[in-house]
Structure 1
Amino acid sequence: MTQTFDFIVVGAGMVGAAIANGLASGGHTIALIDQGQAPAFSDHDDPDIRVSALSAGSENYLRSLGVWHDMMAMRATPYLRLSVWEARDHPISQWLPGQPPRTTFSAKDLKASHLGHIVENRVTQTALWKRASGQDEITLFSGSGIQRLEEQSDSVTATLEDDTAVRGRLVIGADGAGSRVRQLAGIGVTRNQYQQQALVASVRYRGAPQDITWQAFHSTGPRAFLPLHDAGPAHAGESWASLVWYDAPQTLAELKALPEADFLARVQAAFPDELPPLTALSARASFPIARQHAHQYSRGRVVLAGDAAHTINPLAGQGVNLGFQDARCLQELLDEARRKGQDPAAPALLARYEEQRRPANRRMMLTMDMFYHLFSNSLTPVWAARNLGLGLAQGLPFARNRVARYAMGLDEGLPAPVEALLNRAPGPGRLTGQR
């Protein structure tokens, strides 16, 4: 027997579960489908190796969904400052006086309580699943992926791998970068693979939880510190952090193969002096990084959101924040369609979604690609330009703070000169030297 819903959401990750909860709060009925099972969380567990820097805009959205309180009751670490600087590894830098130029974004300067929160992905997903499980409008189908889609004139039927069939007026694909929904809908993507990969490690360090995240840019790629929570009474005086090291794949493979003590020593030596003394390693993994953009965000009765529609360089941790912006935009448009008695799959409505989200997503893609291009090489003219740029950024607080508010999701646009530069920029593939 085929069950009927208003919407079928495929993918119960952070973005998909957020969309489902948002639409359910508007009275829509939802089939929420995911290959996996409900995420599990225990405050006795080591931190999830996957963390996100949730912006103030994402925090506001998650509050509106009724999950932020539960997230804070689990684990979330606010950060008040974000610092960026150039490491002294260029041959010319050793001849320059003083410290390398850096720019620091501060919540105090923005008259805000914090810039954002570092949150384990499983914390966000657990809170969203818990909320979804408690909503009568949402039916969860877990443990089985989607097998095929069949469109009718006024609906679409999704058949799962266990042969369960569900029908809805619109399928929302939020099933990640390798989206099965996108493939079934026949939507292509443009993909650019970066030469670097990213290694992520969960570590303990000596000291209290810090209130700053930072990235030091090396010619081989940035190295970043993201503070997490106190390590608890079993490790008194210690805290957890997530470290990110961008580099060539062979370098990261060597790092992953090192014994724990050797790995920690190598990281301690290679990271800036700002890195506190490391005491233990919980987990480490590396992954390729790529920029990917769907050729279109919808086709027929299928629409894409989050990583299914776009992935970006994770340089500043903006991926999930863009996904939540997709979710909120789509939710508002579908709520409006309900009020007006419109078909939620009407081409004009889905075109409005793409018109609103594609330029914003592309703007962030270009911004991250410009950073990648500027900071991932050792050419002397480029090195000089980025050092000058960081120095100017610190000396121009108005422009710097406008950029910060944009990254926090509080302002819609960047300063006019930055917007003009991005509008004139070539496609991301040309910008980074990728094809």
Structure 2
Amino acid sequence: MIQAFDTIVVGAGMVGAALALGLGQQGFNVALVDRASPREFQPGAAPDIRVSALSAGSERYLASLGAWPGILAMRATPYQRLAVWDEASSPLRRLLPSRLTEVEFDARRLGASHLGHIVENSITQRALWQAAEAEPGVTLITGHSVRDLSQDHRGARVTLDDDRTLEAQLVVGADGAQSRIRELAGIGVTRDQYQQQAMVISVRYRGAVEDITWQGFYPTGPRAFLPLRPAGDAYPGECWGSLVWYDQPERLAQLKAMNNADLIAELHRQFPERLPELTHIDAKASFPIARQHARHYSQERVVLVGDAAHTINPLAGQGVNLGFQDAQCLQQLLVEARAEQQDIAGLALRQAYEQRRRPANQRMMLAMDLFYHLFSNRIPPLHLARNLGLGAARALPFARNQVARYAMGLDEQLPAPIQGILNRLPRLGGL
């Protein structure tokens, strides 16, 4: 038996679930396929180790889907400020006062109530699933993976691992960096593996919930703090937080091998002084980081979104925000194509999607690469250049705030001078 749909979305993570929900709300008949389901929400549980900084633009999108109230009803921590500074030691550092090499972005100066929210990935996914389950146009198919894909001028067919066949005009690959749909569609990627890895540590700290997230840049990579929620009645005066430490794999392996008491002591030695007093480590994990970009975002009746299309250095936590922008763009194009009675997998639609999303994703990927190469070294001229750059950002609040508004999703375009600089830079690694 063949089940027929308008669209099949493979991958029910945050981006795939958002797209399926949005299409279902617009009258599409959508199948949402994933091997697993998000775990049930437990109010008193420790936070998940994977969290994201959702931008104001992503919040608006999730609110339009009806999922944002569900996220707030579970757990989300707003932050009003973001600080970045250079922690590398160098003889050149004395050429600039330390206060000039720290930049702070403040929501109040941007005309906003907050810069974004720190949210556990599982909570964002759970809220989207809850909304999708209530949407008649969305059929959730869980516990099964895709075994095969075929497509022709009439439509696409997906065969699951239980031999079921699903048929649709369009298949969306939202199944992550190791996308099975991308592989079956024959879409290649360019990939560059960074030397560093990222270690994420869920901690409790003494003090109130902080309204700032910050990153100190070291030659081995940044070290970041993300505030989370109060730890509850069982731990009065304490809050949860998430720490991120970028470094060589060997160094992170040493850290992971430490017992919690020794690791807390090492964190206080190696993180900036502003790190609050840590009282407990709940979980820790490390993962490799890479920049990866699909050579094409579509092939016949397959379109890619989110990590299936692109992964970036998680330096500023922009990966999921870019994915939501992909989903929102594709949803809009599909609604317009259907209203005009066009093929929703037609060449014109797929070209329009690529033309809108590839340049925007390239800009963010290039910006993160520039940060990575500029800050992750001990070369004195580059050390001076980055400090001068931070000092200039501090001295030019208008340009700084315009960039921040773009990153938050409040403005759709970068300031013209900055966009011009990015346009003149060579593309890295086949971007």
TM-score bracket relative to the smaller structure: over 0.9
Deviation at 1:257, TM superposition (A): 0.5
Deviation at 1:94, TM superposition (A): 6.0
Aligned to 2:167: 167
Aligned to 1:7: 7
RMSD over equivalenced CA pairs, Å: 1.3
Aligned length: 431
Deviation at 1:267, TM superposition (A): 0.8
Amino acid at match of 2:297: Y
Give me the whole-angstrom Cα distance separating, in 1, the residues matched to 2:204 and 2:425: 41
Deviation at 1:429, TM superposition (A): 3.1
Deviation at 1:23, TM superposition (A): 0.2
Deviation at 1:122, TM superposition (A): 0.5
Give me the whole-angstrom Cα distance separating, in 1, the residues matched to 2:17 and 2:207: 35
1:206-285 matches, cutoff 5 A:
206-285=206-285
Give me the whole-angstrom Cα distance separating, in 1, the residues matched to 2:98 and 2:136: 62
Aligned pair 1:334/2:328, yes or no?
A: no
Deviation at 1:162, TM superposition (A): 1.3
Give me the whole-angstrom Cα distance separating, in 1, the residues matched to 2:97 and 2:109: 28
Q: Secondary structure at the match of 2:251?
A: helix
CA contact (8 A) 1:76 1:119 kept: yes
Does the C-alpha gap of structure 1 residues 224 and 38 become closer, same or farther in structure 2, counting only changes over 3 Å?
closer
Amino acid at match of 2:241: A
CA contact (8 A) 2:190 2:430 kept: no
Q: Secondary structure at the match of 1:241?
A: strand
Give me the whole-angstrom Cα distance separating, in 1, the residues matched to 2:160 and 2:88: 54
Deviation at 1:416, TM superposition (A): 2.2
Deviation at 1:97, TM superposition (A): 5.2
Deviation at 1:95, TM superposition (A): 7.6
Does the C-alpha gap of structure 1 residues 256 and 91 become closer, same or farther in structure 2, counting only changes over 3 Å?
farther
Give me the whole-angstrom Cα distance separating, in 1, the residues matched to 2:396 and 2:100: 17
Aligned to 1:28: 28
Q: Secondary structure at the match of 1:215?
A: strand
Give me the whole-angstrom Cα distance separating, in 2, the residues matched to 1:97 and 1:177: 42
Give me the whole-angstrom Cα distance separating, in 1, the residues matched to 2:67 and 2:98: 46
Deviation string for 1:199-233 (max 9, x for gaps)?
00100000010000000001111000000000000
Deviation at 1:38, TM superposition (A): 3.6
Deviation at 1:426, TM superposition (A): 1.6
Give me the whole-angstrom Cα distance separating, in 1, the residues matched to 2:185 and 2:269: 49
Give me the whole-angstrom Cα distance separating, in 1, the residues matched to 2:271 and 2:430: 30
Amino acid at match of 2:211: D
CA contact (8 A) 1:40 1:122 kept: no
- When normalised by structure 2's length, the TM-score is 0.98
Deviation at 1:96, TM superposition (A): 6.1
CA contact (8 A) 1:185 1:299 kept: yes
Give me the whole-angstrom Cα distance separating, in 2, the residues matched to 1:216 and 1:274: 10
Aligned to 1:427: 427
- Which consecutive unaligned segments of at least 5 residues does structure 2 have? none
Aligned to 1:205: 205
Aligned to 2:292: 292
Aligned to 2:37: 37
Q: Secondary structure at the match of 1:213?
A: strand
Percent identity for Structure 1 against Structure 2: 61
Aligned pair 1:367/2:367, yes or no?
A: yes
CA contact (8 A) 2:402 2:414 kept: yes
Give me the whole-angstrom Cα distance separating, in 1, the residues matched to 2:220 and 2:59: 33
Give me the whole-angstrom Cα distance separating, in 2, the residues matched to 1:97 and 1:396: 17
Deviation at 1:413, TM superposition (A): 1.9
Q: Secondary structure at the match of 1:399?
A: helix
Q: Secondary structure at the match of 2:377?
A: coil
CA contact (8 A) 2:93 2:384 kept: no
CA contact (8 A) 1:196 1:246 kept: yes
Q: Secondary structure at the match of 1:187?
A: coil
Aligned to 1:128: 128
Deviation at 1:73, TM superposition (A): 0.5
Deviation at 1:430, TM superposition (A): 8.8
- When normalised by structure 1's length, the TM-score is 0.97
Give me the whole-angstrom Cα distance separating, in 2, the residues matched to 1:313 and 1:392: 24
Does the C-alpha gap of structure 1 residues 37 and 254 become closer, same or farther in structure 2, counting only changes over 3 Å?
same
CA contact (8 A) 2:79 2:117 kept: yes
Give me the whole-angstrom Cα distance separating, in 1, the residues matched to 2:291 and 2:88: 28
1:181-196 matches, cutoff 5 A:
181-196=181-196
Give me the whole-angstrom Cα distance separating, in 1, the residues matched to 2:430 and 2:292: 14
Does the C-alpha gap of structure 1 residues 362 and 120 become closer, same or farther in structure 2, counting only changes over 3 Å?
same
Deviation string for 1:36-93 (max 9, x for gaps)?
1243211111001000000000000000000100100000000000000011423443
Give me the whole-angstrom Cα distance separating, in 2, the residues matched to 1:7 and 1:186: 19
Deviation at 1:98, TM superposition (A): 4.8
CA contact (8 A) 1:255 1:263 kept: yes
Give me the whole-angstrom Cα distance separating, in 2, the residues matched to 1:410 and 1:56: 7
Give me the whole-angstrom Cα distance separating, in 1, the residues matched to 2:87 and 2:231: 29
CA contact (8 A) 2:173 2:303 kept: yes
Give me the whole-angstrom Cα distance separating, in 2, the residues matched to 1:90 and 1:220: 14
Q: Secondary structure at the match of 1:233?
A: coil
Does the C-alpha gap of structure 1 residues 135 and 178 become closer, same or farther in structure 2, counting only changes over 3 Å?
same
Give me the whole-angstrom Cα distance separating, in 2, the residues matched to 1:96 and 1:364: 29
Deviation string for 1:274-320 (max 9, x for gaps)?
10000000110001100000000000110000000000000000000
Aligned to 1:379: 379
Give me the whole-angstrom Cα distance separating, in 1, the residues matched to 2:214 and 2:318: 15
CA contact (8 A) 1:214 1:225 kept: yes
Aligned to 2:151: 151
Give me the whole-angstrom Cα distance separating, in 2, the residues matched to 1:96 and 1:121: 39
Does the C-alpha gap of structure 1 residues 345 and 384 become closer, same or farther in structure 2, counting only changes over 3 Å?
same
Does the C-alpha gap of structure 1 residues 34 and 95 become closer, same or farther in structure 2, counting only changes over 3 Å?
same
CA contact (8 A) 2:155 2:167 kept: yes
Aligned pair 1:119/2:125, yes or no?
A: no
